[in-house]
Structure 1
Amino acid sequence: MSVSSERPVLSDVAAAARPARRAARDYSVLAKIVRESGLLRRRYAYYWVRLIGAVVAFGLVWAGVVLVGDSWWQLALAAALAVVLAQLAFLGHDSSHRQVFRSRAWNDWTGRVLANGFVGLSHAWWTAKHDAHHAAPNQEGQDPDIASRVVAFTPAAVAERRGWRAWFARRQGWFFVPLLTLEGLNLHVASVRKALGRRPVVHRAVEVPVLLTRLLLNVVVLLVLLPPAMAGAFLAVQLGLFGVLLGGAFAPNHKGMPIVPADAEVDFLRRQVLMSRNIRGNALVDFVMGGLNRQVEHHLFPSMPRPNLRRVQPLVREYCAQLDVAYTEVGFFASYRIVIGYLNDMQHRARDPFGCPLAAQLGR
């Protein structure tokens, strides 16, 4: 293998020593190589440009709302605002993973300001939910992303449904993308419930007033500037597209991948690789998905700056090949065909959670 300035070279020693290592040590070997490669170093210029650009774009969209006035061109601005909010949410995601700054406090407060002040999501709620997902992706009873009251993401959830809910579960794949239009509203409602709930909230004194003010101002300003019907249409387009962009960036990465039983024990590397799917694409896919299309690398190294995920990808793919660990990557539209097919035929495709690549890897 030739030496490249873009990525470090895998040592043949790692492959030769693999039979004598326990599976739990496989990740340690990879992590050491990645640390020594320098790919975990911060990318300040990249993130400052993104942060400033997103905040400026947010201000420009609202300036456009004021200038355009009573015109149905406002719906184009609503779509633009949804795109900007999705990008701000992705930056909040990166901050929450400690990708942006070296300082934990700077990352936390950046994520808190972006989530509550700009996007209108509870940082405390989302961080707790997302951390649980990273700890046990696609594991029943532990991953909150597969615990839905509307869409059944596991065979057990399908088996429990009766009547019209069972009818819906057999066809839910066709409804999946339309349902994403409601995800924006769902995220706001869940955020408010968390912020106002009885359970402790980190920095509640800051989060609650900022979050509620942001959500209230969004509605009040539109009603002041626009006729009621147009304001309602603006909100519908903005919330609907925001939900599609955000939900659509997360869903293709895990849905349709192996479901892990609640009592299964899986080492870290296989837990993250076998339950994740990368989405192949270009710069547009990177932008629309906020870098989450390289989900395998993100799950293995959640604090790695987003632009470095592309550079570490060949290394991870080759290391997985050496370990004979299945590495999944498909095209953007192919990923949605897989998700829709899986959701429509879950009982047959996933009746046995170990009737999948996971079984081959963990048969021992």
Structure 2
Amino acid sequence: MRSDLSRTFWWDVYLVVITVAVAVVILASEPAGLNPRLVATGAIAGILVLHFAAGRRAIERDEARPGLLAAQLALFGLAVALVPNANWLLFGVNPLIFQMVPLRTAVIAVVATNAVLPVSDVFLRPHAVAGDLVIALISSAAGVWLGTWIVRVVQQSQERHRLIEELESSRAEVARLSREAGVTAERTRLAGEIHDTLAQGFTSIITLLQAPEPDVALAVRTARENLAEARSLVAALAPADLTSGSLTSAVRRQAARFTEESGVEAGLRVTGDERALPTAIEVVLLRAAQEALTNVRRHAEAREAAVLLAYTPDSVRLVVRDDGRGFVPGAADGYGLAGMRERAKQVNGNVTVRSDPDTGTTIELEVPA
């Protein structure tokens, strides 16, 4: 919008300069009488008045005003018929035509306007017809070419402006959708964190306290560990177990806690060369171990469980196996397994679940690392 106003301002300045210059030329034209010069000057001033009264607003709004243009061209024709030097006003009239009417109408108007002088010569100055006709032909061709080129440039500029606005609108929409997707992803992540840590911890505390012989000491220790997890979650840090040791030690503590809470033996076996992993991968593996062991404690009715942490040059594999009653994979998947799979996707990992009543359940998570 600001560029359009600037363009209109400079066009106003240009038209005023051309009009004043031609008015001076007309007033200085000695062959013409004083009255014709004054009328011609008044006609030129009328063109300027009409422009500022209504034409300027039409140009700003890109509105076609053929009636207004016809009045201005009539004043131009009057000035040229009275004083031929008024024809110099074509430098301002030709561009004005292309701003006031559509391209096809403008071409016709430019040719007709340039023909005013030679046509008036036929009746008033027969000796000047030939020379003014040649000038009119050259001026018409130049005016049509220049006006057409300017219109096309303006149209291309407007099209670019429209495309830029659409692009900015699209960027704003993409940014909005990205923010919404980020919010959704963060909610999902927090939901998974809460399910895998706080919810499981509270469940363990309730189970321990509701037992026929409540293990208060273990419940208190579990509550403290849950509090540490909550603080880590609020601070957006790694799980408390990982901040105080390696992944292997964190998984070993989970297995030991499982045995202590459930009475079911759960051994940990580590194969391959243990190495430090990116925090995101360690979090996924640790949460998977927590979820798998929690499911064994709640649902499997197992007599034994085993955890394997296998390091290979290209990946790390976590396997949690139990000899419990099993389930139908897919049919009984709850939030925990769904969250495990979602976490695995975040680090390009893959979760495999095998289960049947005779052999129990095996959950395997493999992550490239």
Report the TM-score when normalising by structure 2. Answer: 0.24
* Structure with larger RCO (C-alpha < 8 A, sep 6+): 1
Indicate the structure with greater strand content.
Answer: 2
TM-score, normalising length from structure 1?
0.25
